[in-house]
Chain A
Amino acid sequence: MSRERDLALRRRYWVERLMLALVALGTLLAFLVLFLVLAYALFQGAGALNLDFFLKDMRPPGEAGGGLRQAIVGTLLVDGLGLLLALPFGLAAGILLAEYPDHPLNPYLRLLSDTLNGMPAILFGLLAFILVVKPMGGFSGLSGAFALGFLMIPILARSTEGVLSLVPKEVREAGLALGLPRWRVILSLVLPTARAGLITGILLAFARAAGEAAPLLFTAFGSPLLELNPLKPMDTLPLRLFAFAISPYEDWHQKAWAAGLVLFGFITLTSLLARWASRRRF
């Protein structure tokens, strides 16, 4: 009996080691491409990352130098504008879901919100094209802002709901016990308590939208010039990266890598910030 147990154990430990090896191998495979992308971006793009990159606009092909200032500024403008458009709707939806859990709209709201979250980004661009570009008669940063705003609404709704539902119910109960009306409790107690999480959610939505190019292909459209007027076409970093990548010019390729590096750095920063912020407890 003991001998038999011994044998079974040997085989089982062999299986155990095999599975550990498979799991480790699978894990390495899973992360492999991330490391390769980062490595190549550093390798190829670091050279083009100088001060000019951030301070100068792009040059026509063949002319060396220049930077991508117009794309960086454009990204901030289009994304920021989109965020302003999305905030009231996304926050309101999140507050409704979290603070009025019995509201009859909620199951539908949640379902639609989750569904919109999984929608291909390009569809938001199509919607913005139909609603803004067509009537306006041309591409514009504003239509891009709409596209990104549409994208951000469900993201904000979900993150807001998540953060607010973490606020302990004692906070609300204390406010109500003091005789405060519900809306005061929400605005003056619950929201401030969740401030860090809310800001993190907004930051993450901003970062996610900043990396999108598909919804902007036929809304903001891109531009080689620095443009501050949202009624004109505007450039963003992802758009410019795409345009440079499919171009035949070496110099532009290198700038594309540099743009990739900047984007990579930006999302790393925001992800780290989000992790750090969510470490704080109430």
Chain B
Amino acid sequence: MKRLYTHFGDRVFALVLLLLALGVVALALLMAYELYRGGSLALGRFGLLGFALGREWDPALEKAFGAWPYILGTLIVSLSALSLSFFPALAAAIFAAEYAPRWLAQILNFLLDLMAAVPSVVYGLWGIFVLAPWLRDKLQLPLYLWAAEHAPGLLPLLGVPTGYGLMTAILILASMIVPYTAALARDAIALVPREHREAAYALGATRWEVMRLAILPLARGGILAGAFLALARAVGETLAVTMVIGNSHKLPYTLFGGAATMPSVIANEFTEAVEDLHLSALIAVGFLLFLVSMAVNFTAAYVLRRQERLVKGVL
């Protein structure tokens, strides 16, 4: 009698657990479905490819909606930010994992956690009031004036030096995504089995040589996964970028000039969109953002899983 009861209890519990956990699956599916449905008006009007590659975004006059400026903006900003942030992040990981004494490493690890936790708006605030004006006065304006004098051909590439544009967005984003690369790289380095480190030292290698010979090759996968994770964050970063990027509808081809990314155009225009087509177009941008984000995240997960298997094989 008792056995039947406990068996029943277990069954019920497992069922409840399963149903609730399916909520996660439901969330992902719901997001894909609703975003697609919400954007279907615009996607139907312009076609998926037409929408993604269209260059005109004019809610007022033309009623044309092409998301390419924002896709391009997202790609440029994210990839540039990743490139800029990669080496400092790797350096911080190496320093925390190998060179720093334990007390310092713990502080650095805490600071990395902190960096990842600081809200986007706070970085954005600093970007608006500190970074953008500084860049404009100390870098962009002098460069612009110099180019006006000596290399006027460069001017169209530079754009108007307001301080609110691609350059500032890239710099701020780079600072924000450092902890993601750094944390995973640090973990990957720490996971390299002790024997490999020691074998390299036993050969008479210096500290850096041990890093180069034994540690970094084995930590490669984790470092790469960290880079993909950072890219995923960069792609989705909204507020900080919106606050400093200048928000233009045109294709981003100037260094100083304004631009926009997929999240930033949604953030900027959503509450103002009155027409169904405009709203649908913005949701469609959200759908594209969803696809891009999925792709990058999947790649990150795949790389990480491969790395885990490699290390397990070595162990």
A and B co-occur in one complex: yes
Closest Cβ of chain A to B308, distance in Å, is 13
> Is the Cβ of A118 less than 8 Å from the Cβ of B125?
no
B124 at the binding interface (Cβ < 8 Å): yes
Over the window 11-51 of chain A, the binary record of Cβ atoms lying under 8 Å from chain B Cβ atoms (1 yes, 0 no) is 01101100110111111011111101100110010000000
Bound complex: CA A153 to CA B99 (Å): 37
Return chain A residues, CB-CB under 8 Å to B38: 126, 130
Q: Does A241 reach chain B (CB closer than 8 Å)?
A: yes
User: Distance in Å from the Cβ of B92 to the closest Cβ of chain A?
Assistant: 4
* Chain A 104-118 per-residue mask, 1 if CB under 8 angstroms from chain B, else 0: 010011011111101
The reply to whether B117 and A211 contact each other, CB–CB distance below 8 Å, is yes
Which residues of chain B from 157 to 197 have any CB-CB distance to chain A below 8 Å in the complex? 172, 175, 178, 182
A221 near B: Cβ within 8 Å? yes
Question: Which range contains the number of A residues in contact with the other chain?
Answer: 35 or more
Q: Which of B53-61, B139-147, B282-290 interfaces with chain A? A: B282-290
- The reply to whether B290 and A119 contact each other, CB–CB distance below 8 Å, is yes
User: What is the distance, in angstroms, from B301's C-beta to the closest C-beta of chain A?
Assistant: 5
Give, as a whole number of angstroms, the nearest-CB distance from A81 to chain B. Answer: 17
**How far does the Cβ of A134 sit from chain B's closest Cβ, in whole Å?**
9
Enumerate chain B residues within 8 angstroms of A263, measured Cβ to Cβ. 118-119, 121-122
Q: Is the CB of B119 within 8 A of A212?
A: yes
Contact partners of B152 in chain A: CB under 8 A? none
In Å, the complex CA distance between A87 and B16 comes to 14
Interface residues of B in 74-129 (CB under 8 A from A): 85, 87-92, 94-96, 99, 108, 110-111, 113-115, 117-126, 128-129
Q: How far is the CB of B41 from chain A (nearest CB, A)?
A: 13
A122–B266 CB distance below 8 A: yes
Cβ contact within 8 Å between B13 and A183: yes
The CA of A201 and the CA of B38, in the complex, are separated in Å by: 33
- B118 → chain A closest CB, angstroms: 6
Name, among B25, B122, B301, the residue most crowded by chain A CB atoms within 10 Å (CB to CB): B122
Which of chain A's residues has its CB closest to B123's CB?
Answer: A37
Question: Considering only CB atoms, which chain A residue lies closest to B273 in the complex?
Answer: A218
Q: What is the number of contacts between chain A and chain B, taking CB atoms within 8 Å?
A: 273
Q: A23-B99, A40-B126 are known contacts. Are A93 and B121 too (CB-CB below 8 A)? A: no
* Neighbouring A residues of B154 by C-beta, 8 Å: none
CB distance A93 to B125 under 8 Å?
Answer: no
Residues of A within 8 A of B298 (CB): 111, 115
Residue of B nearest to A116 (CB): B28
Stretch of A59-67, A166-174, A191-199, A252-260 on the interface side? A252-260
Chain A residues within 8 Å of B30, by CB:
127, 131
Are B122 and A260 touching (Cβ within 8 A)?
A: yes
* Structural contact, A126 and B283, CB atoms closer than 8 A: yes
Name the residue on A nearest B106 (C-beta): A275
Q: How far is the CB of B286 from chain A (nearest CB, A)?
A: 5
Minimum CB distance partner of B175 in chain A: A33
From the candidates B21, B122, B239, name the one contacting A109 in the complex (CB within 8 A). Answer: B21
Question: Quick check: is A189 within 8 A (CB to CB) of the other chain?
Answer: no
Contact of A36 among B108, B111, B130 (CB under 8 A): B130
Once A109-B21, A111-B301 are accepted as A-B contacts, the answer to whether A16 and B286 lie under 8 Å apart by CB is no
CA distance A73 to B22 in the complex (A): 32
Known: A34-B111, A127-B31, A271-B110. A221 touches B271 (CB 8 A): yes
Report if B294 contacts A (CB, 8 A): yes
List the 6 closest A-B pairs by CB distance, nearest first: A26-B91, A120-B236, A211-B119, A92-B20, A183-B13, A33-B175
Other A-B pairs beyond A92-B23, A221-B271, 17, CB < 8 Å: A19-B211, A22-B91, A25-B91, A34-B115, A89-B27, A109-B21, A115-B293, A115-B301, A119-B31, A122-B267, A129-B270, A211-B119, A218-B270, A238-B120, A245-B125, A263-B119, A272-B110
